[in-house]
Amino acid sequence: MTRTSHSEPDRRSAVAGRRIVLVGNPNAGKSVVFGAMSGMYVDVSNYPGTTIEISQAPYGQDRLQDSPGVYGLGSFNDEERVARDVILQADILVNVVDAVHLERDLFLTLQLLELAKPMVVALNMMDEAASRGLKIDPARLEQQLGVPVIPTVAVRREGIDALEAALDRARPGQGDPHWRVVLDELADAVGGRGEALLLLEGDRDVAARHPDLPVEAMREEIYQTRRRRADAVVESCVGPFTYRQQVRDRVSRLMLHPVSGALILLAVLWGMFEVVGVLVAGDLVGVTEGMLMQERYEPAVQGAVGRVVAPARYTVQPRAPLAERLDELADSSDAAVARAAEEVRQAWDERLADQPWREGGAWREDVRALEQVLSPDAQQALRRVNAWDALVDPSGYYRTLRFPNDTLAGKAATVLAGEYGVLTHTVRYLVGLLLPLVLAFYLLLALLEDCGYLPRLATLTDRALNTIGLNGRAIIPIILGFGCVTMATITTRLLGTEREKSIAASILNFVIPCSAQLGVIVGILALAVAAAGGQAGPILLYVAVILTILVLLGTLLDRLLPGRSSHLFIELPPLRLPRLGNVTKKTFVRSFAFMKEAAPWFVVGSLAVGLMQVTGLLTAARDALAPLTERWLLLTREAADVFIMGLVRRDFGAAGLTRLANEGTLTPYQMTVSLIVVTLFVPCIASLLILVKERGVRQAAAIWVGTWLTAFAVGGLVAQALRMAGML
């Protein structure tokens, strides 16, 4: 973002340190104007005490501040409150107005005029107005409002210079003469016209500040007269209105029609899947190379920890295919081959297991060195059965690291740099897995938002969401939930009532599988289907059970929770092509805000598991869970591992399942049961901690306990039912 050149710095420093606040309706182009006026040093931070983000930037000697898009000042929701507070403290107001929707935008403008603050109006989107045949007279408008009115096309930077020049001509403007006397009197009593106006309009927060003044709220009257005045201004300044339908209006229609809308949605979902798949999988691969680069970072860290804290030892093990192959060979009827296999086993024990630490890829040399170690007879035998090349190829092996578990230093080292080490594993997870994922999903969200599809999606899904006590807006956290449930839980803030936030947070943490799990779930379902001889049974069962629980949970919460949910009331802005600059900015700002907020909790979670590991708590938990897993869920003992690991990170749980599934110890329907349990099981630690932060300890605890019960109850019931049906 480049700075516009300002030729006379003195002009602005005349009144130093002014607070210039941008204000306007959502979708009026405020952020574009902000972007055009501000330079590179934009600071985005939460307004104190809220979760609403405010952008600020230095502007010469002054300060430029953006405010949340609102339709009016008041206390309908958090956005309005923050906008109100920011605006009341402003020195100069820049009201960005959408020229196409003047009758709507002028309501706020007229309200702002009552504040008697120096103001300038940016009449934005003049190009769109022209394309719709709207003729607006800015000079007339200026005369009626009493403040400078500057036509702009912010996306093309047209009029921005004029706007900036006009800042010095900012003046208070003409309020409604109807209310002038009342407001002036009250302003003296409460210290400011802004306070007075809001008090008269019945703003609860402001009223609380002046308990001694029993002012009768006249909001309805004030609003009606303001509306009439706005209509009159539009009447006199805007040419006759004719509706001109544009192509985008037809597209919008299609998006909302149940049939074509569903098709479009499927296309969008498919597109999302591709993008995320490419970005994340591609990034995953990129990061696996980065992980291989982390195989320089990690070993370096481990080496450092090894030097400073406690020396590590490593074991090189064959991957599953190779290990299986060797088992086969050991049972071979050919004596020479069986003997050779024994030799290999021995060599593995002696040369690859429990070795003292060495840097980087040195272990690969050990594998290749097997060539020298094994006898010529063995080599001959193994070559005969075509096993030799695989045996000495390092890519068939992987290395695990172990710090000694008996010393305190060793335990500390494990927590820091061991299997789930904070410095190694967590950093790799955050940078390599979570960050690309979060970027991808926020990018998608920003694209959908910017082109105007999101409100239409909310409209399309409203009816379905009503069945679980939510309205269309909740589709946003639900979509994000398939990315990262932690991210989605934070987004529940934008829902209308506490009740809806609770329902949405519960559904996210009970049912929705985050992408970490999703990939593995899809993979294992595919395996299950293959193992079941191509029958779609496992998939159908899984989807049916999960959907049922989703609907049941939502309905239950809808009935049990007090209060009523809000209904859909949403503006459908005109569709347009997403603007790259805006989209990337939103993506980065939100992603980094999320990482800043959530990353510490992932670290805490990792730390917790590391501690559990070294204190033996992890093993104890596994053993405690085993009987439940075996007898109630009818799975193998090892499956208990999967659930315990799922406590830490959802993908662990699912990945552990892949291992089990690959080993062939589970039948297709056993796999399905485990997937069901894994999906319904507790949220990962980071999610849990964010849940505590967002919804409070009681709700979080209820959800946590609830997921344990639901996961095992449902999993068990399904397992027992399958057994009775003879399908397990």
Partner 1 sequence: MVVVRGVSPRLAGEALGSNMSIQMGLHEAPLNRSVRIARIVDPQTRMQLLRLGITEGSEVICEQRLPFGPVVLRHRHNRLALGRRIARDIHVAVA
| Beta strand ranges found along 245-396 (DSSP E) | 313-318, 355-356
Which of the stretches 220-228, 270-278, 324-332, 673-681 binds partner 1 when contact is defined by CB under 8 A?
A: 220-228
| Cα maximum dimension of the chain | 109
When asked if residue 466 is in the footprint of partner 1 (CB under 8 A), the reply is yes
How many chain residues bind partner 1 (CB under 8 A)? Answer: 42
Residue number, 179 or 681, with CB nearest to partner 1: 179
Residue number, 458 or 484, with CB nearest to partner 1: 458
Report CA-CA distances (Å) from 560 to 343, 503, 553, 699, 707: 66, 11, 10, 14, 17
Contact map string, positions 117 to 136, toward partner 1, x by CB under 8 A: ---------------x----
Q: Which two tokens stand for residue 527?
A: 């395996």
Q: List binders of partner 1 among 569-608 (CB under 8 A).
A: 569-574
When asked if residue 495 is in the footprint of partner 1 (CB under 8 A), the reply is no
- Give residue 221's identity as a one-letter amino acid code: E
**Least distance to partner 1, CB of residue 602, Å:** 37
Which of the stretches 149-157, 379-387, 450-458, 623-631 binds partner 1 when contact is defined by CB under 8 A?
A: 450-458
Which of the stretches 69-77, 311-319, 512-520, 552-560 binds partner 1 when contact is defined by CB under 8 A?
A: 69-77
When asked if residue 75 is in the footprint of partner 1 (CB under 8 A), the reply is no
Residue number, 77 or 665, with CB nearest to partner 1: 77
Residue number, 567 or 723, with CB nearest to partner 1: 567
Residue number, 461 or 489, with CB nearest to partner 1: 461
Helix/strand/coil (H/E/C) assignment for every residue in 479-541: HHHCCCHHHHHHHHHHCCCHHHHHHHHHHHHHCCCCHHHHHHHHHHHHHHHHHCCCCCHHHHH
Among 196, 458, 503, 700, binds partner 1 (CB under 8 A): 458
Among 252, 489, 636, 674, binds partner 1 (CB under 8 A): 252
**Least distance to partner 1, CB of residue 194, Å:** 18
Encode 621-641: b = buried (16+ Cβ within 10 Å), e = exposed: bbeebbeebeeebbbbebbbb
When asked if residue 145 is in the footprint of partner 1 (CB under 8 A), the reply is no
**Least distance to partner 1, CB of residue 270, Å:** 23
583 CB neighbour count, 10 Å cutoff: 20
Q: Residue 392 contacts by C-beta under 8 Å, 6 or more apart in sequence?
A: 367, 368, 370, 371
Please give the backbone phi and psi of residue 316, each rounded to the nearest 5 degrees, phi first: -100, 125
Residue with tokens 């002036």: 184
Among 139, 181, 243, 724, binds partner 1 (CB under 8 A): 243
**Least distance to partner 1, CB of residue 673, Å:** 36
When asked if residue 71 is in the footprint of partner 1 (CB under 8 A), the reply is yes
Residue number, 257 or 383, with CB nearest to partner 1: 257
Q: End-to-end CA distance of the chain, in Å? A: 61
Instruction: Classify 401 as helix, strand or coil.
Output: strand
**Least distance to partner 1, CB of residue 459, Å:** 4
Which of the stretches 217-225, 290-298, 672-680, 717-725 binds partner 1 when contact is defined by CB under 8 A?
A: 217-225
Whole-angstrom Cα Rg for the chain: 32
- For the beta sheet containing 43-46, the strands, ordered from the edge strand earlier in sequence to the opposite edge, are 43-46, 53-59, 62-66, 19-24, 92-98, 119-124, 149-151
**Least distance to partner 1, CB of residue 227, Å:** 5
Among 43, 220, 350, 393, binds partner 1 (CB under 8 A): 220
Distance CA 127, CA 105 (A): 17
When asked if residue 219 is in the footprint of partner 1 (CB under 8 A), the reply is yes
**Least distance to partner 1, CB of residue 128, Å:** 9
Q: What is the DSSP letter of 15?
A: T
Task: Please provide the DSSP assignment of 411-429 as one string.
Answer: HHHHHHHSTT-IIIIIHHI
When asked if residue 376 is in the footprint of partner 1 (CB under 8 A), the reply is no
Contact map string, positions 294 to 333, toward partner 1, x by CB under 8 A: ----------------------------------------
Among 253, 319, 368, 383, binds partner 1 (CB under 8 A): 253
Contact between 42 and 56 under an 8 Å Cβ cutoff? The reply is yes
When asked if residue 217 is in the footprint of partner 1 (CB under 8 A), the reply is no
- Give residue 701's identity as a one-letter amino acid code: A
Identify the CA nearest to 120 among candidates 96, 144, 84.
96
- For the beta sheet containing 397-402, the strands, ordered from the edge strand earlier in sequence to the opposite edge, are 355-356, 313-318, 397-402
Among 95, 459, 517, 667, binds partner 1 (CB under 8 A): 459
Q: List binders of partner 1 among 96-115 (CB under 8 A).
A: 100-101, 103-104, 107-108
When asked if residue 567 is in the footprint of partner 1 (CB under 8 A), the reply is yes
Q: List binders of partner 1 among 513-552 (CB under 8 A).
A: none
Contact between 28 and 60 under an 8 Å Cβ cutoff? The reply is no
**Least distance to partner 1, CB of residue 572, Å:** 4
Among 172, 217, 223, 597, binds partner 1 (CB under 8 A): 223
When asked if residue 289 is in the footprint of partner 1 (CB under 8 A), the reply is no
Report CA-CA distances (Å) from 429 to 107, 175, 304, 413, 617: 49, 57, 20, 19, 23
Among 4, 45, 46, 224, binds partner 1 (CB under 8 A): 224
Q: Any idea of the CA torsion for 587, 589, 592, 597, to the nearest 10 degrees?
A: -120
Query: What's the gap between Cα 386 and its chain centre?
Result: 49
Query: What's the gap between Cα 181 and its chain centre?
Result: 50
When asked if residue 503 is in the footprint of partner 1 (CB under 8 A), the reply is no
**Least distance to partner 1, CB of residue 139, Å:** 22
Residue number, 225 or 315, with CB nearest to partner 1: 225
Residue number, 203 or 641, with CB nearest to partner 1: 203
When asked if residue 26 is in the footprint of partner 1 (CB under 8 A), the reply is no
**Least distance to partner 1, CB of residue 570, Å:** 5
**Least distance to partner 1, CB of residue 234, Å:** 8
183 CB neighbour count, 10 Å cutoff: 22
Please work out, in degrees rounded to the nearest 5, the angle formed at the alpha carbon of residue 456 by the alpha carbons of 451 and 459: 160
When asked if residue 227 is in the footprint of partner 1 (CB under 8 A), the reply is yes
Which of the stretches 87-95, 156-164, 204-212, 568-576 binds partner 1 when contact is defined by CB under 8 A?
A: 568-576
Task: Please provide the DSSP assignment of 587-599 as one string.
Answer: HHHHHHHHHHHHH
Which residues would be at the binding site for partner 1 (CB under 8 A)?
A: 71-72, 76, 100-101, 103-104, 107-108, 132, 219-220, 223-224, 227, 230-231, 241, 243, 252-253, 256-258, 455-456, 458-460, 462-463, 466, 471-472, 567-574
